[in-house]
Amino acid sequence: MKLMVTGGAGFIGSNFIRHMFNTYPEYQLINLDKLTYAGNLENLKDIADIAGESGRYSFVRGDIADKALVESLLRDGVDAVINFAAESHVDRSIDDSKIFVDTNVVGTQVLLDACLKYKLNRYIQISTDEVYGSLGPTGKFSETTPLAPNSPYSASKTSADLFVRAYYETYGLNTLITRCSNNYGPYQFPEKLIPLFITNAYAGKALPLYGDGMNVRDWIFVTDHCKAIDLVLHSGKPGQVYNIGGNAEKNNTEITKTILKALDKPESLIKYVKDRPGHDRRYAIDDTKIKNELGWSREYDFESGMQETVNWYLENRSWWEKIKTGEYLKFYSRWYEER
């Protein structure tokens, strides 16, 4: 099987490529990535070195909204597209939403058109639980929960999901959508909560906690997510949505204290900052469907996943220390100062 993975130099995409490369030695993998600030080829340096000239893995730098480029890659017999490519950080979408529309909506439409043109066997849209909006103190998101995005980022992901659904209903394109809870694990860009707080705490820097710190998310270790996508790719029913959850609801204060304890750092590093606009209060995923239909199950509980994550960041300081400079720090210094 020949797969094109878009956004494969990012956090989840690179972990998915590593999983597929190691699990299916006969598969060919094309990684199409624009290499924006969160894309990093070092995430897959080991895979590129192993693949060598075998043709099992190749990297193409480019934009999923570039129609000519996308078509040139798909016309040579790709079997499936798995679309991880997205602008994904809520804070940045509040600061400037245009690029989120360009990549997340227009880019998805370009991919769908190309898949239709070249009659691909399967297209998987990697989405997010944020398309459902916010939950009250009880209940969970199911695949039939109405879509109610509350940020420019989640609105762009919702729009993309609706395009994917429309191409199945209108053209019969073999599409699927996965919606996952919050991921954590190796190679996550350190603007996200867990890697930001691990790296800040290690360096003795403040941990900027939004609002009262009681926003709740369901957390899943990235490897479990990748294995779920693998199942959807091979066994998912066309036109369906599959929720993927971690069964680990934690508020941000719990996450923060877990990290501080793991690093033996004081809680005095916590710095409460003004809450961001449109900050959903609680997410929780009902993943009954993917368990019952595809037989998926998690291998990591939250405690073991967090320990592995903390260990990885401690053992790979050179990876994140290179990142936490330049444009990244400028954006976040200004963001937190304004709030």
**DSSP conformation letters of 239-291:** T-EEEE--S-EEEHHHHHHHHHHHTT--GGGEEEEPPPTT--SB--B--HHHH
State the DSSP string of 41-77: GGGGHHHHHHHTTSSSEEEEE--TT-HHHHHHHHTTT
Catalytic residue among 33, 63, 129, 280: 129
Query: Could you tell me the CATH number of the domain that includes residue 128?
Result: 3.40.50.720
Average pLDDT over residues 64-81: 96
> Quick count: other Cβ atoms within 10 Å of Cβ 129?
25
User: pTM for the complete prediction?
Assistant: 0.93
Predicted confidence at residue 323, as pLDDT, reads 84
Is 28 within a domain?
A: yes
The reply to whether 286 belongs to the active site is no
Is 321 within a domain?
A: no
Rounded to whole angstroms, what are the CA distances from 179 to 56, 90, 92?
A: 28, 16, 21
Short-list 178, 192, 165, 137, CA closest to 320 = 192
Is 195 within a domain?
A: no
Instruction: Count how many domains the chain has.
Output: 1
Is 311 within a domain?
A: no
pLDDT at residue 93 greater than cutoff 90: no
Percent of the chain scored above 70 by pLDDT? 96
Predicted confidence at residue 279, as pLDDT, reads 87
Is 16 within a domain?
A: yes
Kindly report, residue by residue over 110-132, the tens digit of the pLDDT: 999 999 999 999 999 999 999 99
Catalytic residue among 123, 153, 187, 300: 153
The reply to whether 79 belongs to the active site is no
Question: Confidence class of residue 333 from pLDDT cuts 50, 70 and 90?
Answer: very low
The span from the CA of 40 to the CA of 9, in Å, is 5
Is 215 within a domain?
A: no
Predicted confidence at residue 326, as pLDDT, reads 52
Q: Which residues span the domain enclosing 60?
A: 2-188+220-247+279-301
Catalytic residue among 63, 130, 230, 280: 130
Predicted confidence at residue 338, as pLDDT, reads 47
Is 333 within a domain?
A: no
Average pLDDT over residues 306-314: 97
List, as own/partner pairs, every contact residues 71-76 make where C-beta atoms lie below 8 angstroms and the sequence separation is at least 24, other chains included.
71/114, 71/117, 71/118, 73/4, 73/30, 73/32, 74/4, 74/114, 74/115, 74/117, 74/118, 74/120, 75/118
The reply to whether 130 belongs to the active site is yes
Whether the Cβ atoms of residue 302 and residue 250 lie closer than 8 Å to each other: yes
pLDDT at residue 301 greater than cutoff 60: yes
Dihedral of the CA atoms 111, 186, 207, 203 (nearest 10)?
-130
Average pLDDT over residues 229-251: 97
Kindly report, residue by residue over 266-286, the tens digit of the pLDDT: 999 999 999 888 788 999 999
